[in-house]
Structure 1
Amino acid sequence: MVREAVRWLVSSLVLLFVVSALTFVLVSLAPGDAAKSILAGQTSTFTQDQYESMRALLGIDKPLHEQYWDWLTNLAHGSLGTDLFSGQQVTEVLAGRIGPSLSIILGTVLVSAVLGVGLGMLSAWRGGRLGRVVDAVSLLGFAVPNFWLALVLVELFAVRLTLFPAGGYTGLATDPAAWLASITLPILTLSAGAIAFVAKQTRDSMADVLSREFVTMLHARGLSPRTILVKHALRNASIPVVTMLGLLLVSLLSGTVLVESVFSIPGLGQQAVNASGSHNLPLIAGVAFYFTVVVIIANLLVDLSYRLLNPKVRGS
């Protein structure tokens, strides 16, 4: 157990290092920098001396490896650096952005898990026409672009029926009802394809388990179909489903970028887009750091789920 914990910690640190280093390299390869963005916002023309002075003031005149070392040093002291434009700590800038993004991501995973697993179980148990419907809906969910679906949902539920707001975000602590309304359309946008995908994975896993001999023995012992389906078959079929849910959570990190832009939600994805446009390296690195932490936590939860569901993994 200790060995597994050490291995997880080392792999997590390596992942953080690789992602953060790649972020610095990729941002440095993009044309332009924060100094030009700041000066362009202040005046239409600026001299080379003004440009060099601004670079020195921002600290981006240093070699890339020195900038990265400074960032790592700040990280070791619990800081993600300073926003090049506002002068605020990156942690303070991003503090209000985490809630909206996590609300959408976790809400989408929850909706996809509940509806997808339920539909997949029913499809595996009943089979026939319902199974073909799941396959058709899966293809449709993958074929429909998220941005198109988002616009359709806004037109239908926000403009015509006025059931939900077309954009914006309300915090959970401020107004729970308004918070739920503000994240409903983004969650529906992201979960449309995910529900069908989880349902298909659940149906295939359940169908494989239900065809095994121990299920026949359970029927012969007189157990009810519901007990066999939920208590025995689902537990044995759940590991592939848990894997898919973990992959879904990670994939939603990129999906939120588009959804937050369409619905004007002040989340990490929208912040990453704004920071990339202005070459705000500390903010970009901060968002990448938070996203990487989410990936690490998702992998940890999946691994813990394996141990709970499979005694062989728990004992290894």
Structure 2
Amino acid sequence: MSRQLIFAIRRLLLTIPMLIVMSVVVFLILRLVPGDPVRTMLGFRATDANVAELRHQLGLDQPLLTQYVNWILALLQGDLGKDIVSHAPLADLLAQRLPVTLELTALSMLLAVVIGVPLGIRAATGGRWTKRLTEGFVIFGISIPDFWLGIMLVLVFAGTLTILPPSGYVPFAKDPVANLRYMILPVLTLAAGEAAYILRTTRSAITSVLDRPFVTFLRAKGISRNRIVFGHALRNAGPAIVTVIGLQVGVLLGGAIIVETMFALPGIGRLVVTGINQRNYPTVQVGVLAIATIFIVVSLVTDLIVAWLDPRVADGETT
């Protein structure tokens, strides 16, 4: 059995306790948030008897351990529960909201990579002015909050130029053109900061590789600069770039909560925000669990790709 395969198996097995710990954290944090979800549902005129009856129906009068075990057993059986406000099955809500969040995250990361990697390479190999301009972009992208950038984009493109809609959503299957028009501003809002992080990492990784002795040897052999950069330096810098891309997916998923609310996108992030305002435990639990699970899966895939690009990662894991 190869070392890379052993690394992949161990990494897969490690995902199981990570999911368990994450589910415990999500379950407990929601229970520690101030406020009574039952009284929120029934309103201020609810009697103690009504509150006690509904709490019993929802299982909130049971010990925390019992509530957690029942919740996990239901999840393992594919029962995500029901929204305690609308009484809609959470599986249906998740199926409706998940594609929106995945589309937003995928398009934002794609744009960030398309912008960040080439600019990072250019920053590592270009002249003084190129480095200053890219450094300015990094500072701008890292320091500007998503919500402020989103507001500015709406004011310019939707308010002043009126060329893009300020909010809303149309499914891609229904109208691809309209879908992309509604997604442009949210994607730009999320991608700017991520492109800056990817640019900075790419620049540092490429610069580090270009300072290695083997690059000096390649230059002495007369190999062209582009071939050294794209054929050797970029390949050696690949693990660092892939790692930061995988980590930034988690940042994108967190940012999606704000951006979906700002642009009225019917994704998981907006569902979670609505659930928090309503003290809707089942909805918030399932929403946060879905987001965290996506991030854990992306982290797993990232580690496997890095181990494939750099076999020394697998060697270090198995030794």
TM-score band, normalised by shorter chain: over 0.9
Q: Deviations over 1:202-246 (max 9, x none)?
A: 111111111222222223333332222111110111221111111
In 2, distance between residues paired with 1:21 and 1:258?
24
Mean alpha-carbon deviation: is it higher for 191-200 or for 93-102? 191-200
CA contact 1:34–1:84 (8 Å) conserved in 2: no
Q: Give the CA deviation at 1:52.
A: 0.8
TM score, norm. by length of structure 2: 0.92
Gaps of 5+ in 2: none
Residue of structure 2 equivalent to 1:273: 273
Residue of structure 1 equivalent to 2:102: 102
**Structure 2 counterpart of 1:187, one-letter code:** V
Residue 243 (1) aligns with residue 243 (2): yes
CA contact 1:83–1:283 (8 Å) conserved in 2: yes
Residue 36 (1) aligns with residue 39 (2): yes
> Match for 1:25 among 28, 31, 51?
28
Residue 284 (1) aligns with residue 287 (2): no
Q: Deviations over 1:253-278 (max 9, x none)?
A: 11111111111111111111111111
Q: Give the CA deviation at 1:156.
A: 0.6
SS at match of 2:247: helix
Residue 135 (1) aligns with residue 135 (2): yes
Mean alpha-carbon deviation: is it higher for 92-101 or for 9-18? 9-18
CA contact 1:141–1:192 (8 Å) conserved in 2: yes
Residue of structure 2 equivalent to 1:215: 215
**Structure 2 counterpart of 1:101, one-letter code:** T
Q: Give the CA deviation at 1:88.
A: 2.6
**Structure 2 counterpart of 1:162, one-letter code:** T
CA contact 1:142–1:193 (8 Å) conserved in 2: yes
CA contact 2:243–2:303 (8 Å) conserved in 1: no
In 1, distance between residues paired with 2:19 and 2:279?
21
Aligned length: 313
Change (3 A) 1:109 1:123: same
Residue of structure 2 equivalent to 1:53: 53
Residue of structure 1 equivalent to 2:89: 89
**Structure 2 counterpart of 1:215, one-letter code:** V
In 1, distance between residues paired with 2:10 and 2:284?
28
Q: Give the CA deviation at 1:137.
A: 1.9
Residue of structure 2 equivalent to 1:173: 173
Q: Deviations over 1:15-73 (max 9, x none)?
A: 22112212221211222233212211xxx512111111111222222222111111111
Q: Give the CA deviation at 1:305.
A: 1.7
Mean alpha-carbon deviation: is it higher for 269-278 or for 223-232? 223-232
Change (3 A) 1:268 1:207: same
Residue 4 (1) aligns with residue 18 (2): no
CA contact 1:19–1:288 (8 Å) conserved in 2: no
Residue of structure 2 equivalent to 1:148: 148
CA contact 1:116–1:195 (8 Å) conserved in 2: yes
In 2, distance between residues paired with 1:21 and 1:9?
19
Superposition pairs of residues 64-75 of structure 1, within 5 angstroms:
64-75=64-75
Q: Give the CA deviation at 1:250.
A: 0.9
Q: Deviations over 1:119-170 (max 9, x none)?
A: 0111111132211222222122222121111111001111222222101111
Q: Give the CA deviation at 1:308.
A: 2.7
Change (3 A) 1:101 1:86: same
CA contact 2:8–2:304 (8 Å) conserved in 1: no
Gaps of 5+ in 1: none
Residue 121 (1) aligns with residue 121 (2): yes
In 2, distance between residues paired with 1:66 and 1:177?
49
Identity of aligned residues (%): 35
**Structure 2 counterpart of 1:308, one-letter code:** W
Q: Give the CA deviation at 1:2.
A: 5.3
Aligned CA-pair RMSD: 1.7
Q: Give the CA deviation at 1:304.
A: 2.1
Residue 252 (1) aligns with residue 252 (2): yes
Mean alpha-carbon deviation: is it higher for 147-156 or for 192-201? 192-201
SS at match of 1:136: helix
